[in-house]
Amino acid sequence: MGLIHLGIDIGGTNIKFTVLADDGKLLDQGEVLTEDSVTCPEIWKNKIIDLIKRKSRVFARDNPEGVLCGISAPGLTDPENRKITCMPGRLEGLENFDWSEALKMRISVINDGHSACLAEYKSFYEGSVNNMLMLTLGTGVGGAAILNGKLFPGAIQRAGHFGHMTVDHAGVQTATQMVGSLEYAIGNFSIAERTYNHFENTRELVEAYKNKCTLATYWWLKSVQKLAISLASLINAFSPELIVLGGGITEAGDDLFLPLRKFIDLYEWKPNGYQVEIRKARFGSFAGSIGAAFYAKENFRK
């Protein structure tokens, strides 16, 4: 069958996986609950180890050399892309865990925002777009920048942490010390706190917004407005041709993108009428796992 490319994306809510053949054909795809818990911190990690072993057994007949595995995760990677060295606040046990050593096979680790951006750019925009930003809206908010046709990791591979830009100088301080962050304003992890325990997740909030609940409408549009302000700020900072939005929150569809466009129109600077296009990620919430599979292949060739 040739080499198999396995990509795993570790999210605060779900772990997604994608299995690709060497020619890019999709062989398998799915997700399991992360179950990130301070009382049982090893559950999510054991799920991933078991997932890698099972997919290796099914698609590569237990041959570790037949599988190129990439893991997409929040946080900063080490220079060799073997592990996450810094991930404050969530996924206890992720920091400094060497996946290659634990599984006795080569595993390439990449930041989740970088991974999702790489998947979208390489698949749909390379050659036609030179400067692109991507934000992943899920449990938290990640992202990445393609500058002059290349992924820009920045010093210590921190570039693209757009969720940690501030939208409220008097807001709550989160794990990276930033106050009033975009991640807090729209990320799924803070829904209960932001809505005074009226809603447990974004899906519930958006459903209530659809049903014209006054409080839900206020909370949801307030979050979308802060996202629009952030995007307009990023447009001024990077001057991209395109911004792609991915992650589970984008599954809200028009309930996100229609008000977002209206808010952006209030804030975006449009020199000579030039307007930056905002698109939904084509790979949807699986962009991270697909990008991780791509990255494993790319890293192997290096």
For the chain, domains (ranges, CATH) are: 4-114+286-301 (3.30.420.40), 128-284 (3.30.420.40)
pLDDT at 44 over 60: yes
Distance CA 139, CA 247 (A): 9
Tell whether pTM > 0.75: yes
**Residue of higher predicted confidence among 66 and 200:** 200
Query: What is the rounded CA–CA span in Å between residue 115 and residue 7?
Result: 10
pLDDT in the model for residue 150: 94
**pLDDT higher than threshold 80 for residue 173:** yes
pLDDT of residue 218: 98
Quote the pLDDT of residue 90.
72
Specify whether the CB–CB gap between 186 and 227 falls below 8 A. Answer: yes
Which pLDDT value is given to residue 297? 87
Question: How would DSSP label each residue in 137-186?
Answer: ESSSEEEEEEETTEE---GGG-TT-GGGSBS-TTS-B-TTS-BSBHHHHH
* Contact between residue 48 and residue 55 where contact means Cβ atoms under 8 Å apart: no
- From residue 11, give the alpha-carbon distance in Å to each of 29, 90, 247, 257, 302: 15, 10, 10, 23, 27
Taking the C-alpha atoms of residue 42 and residue 67, their distance in angstroms, rounded to an integer, is 24
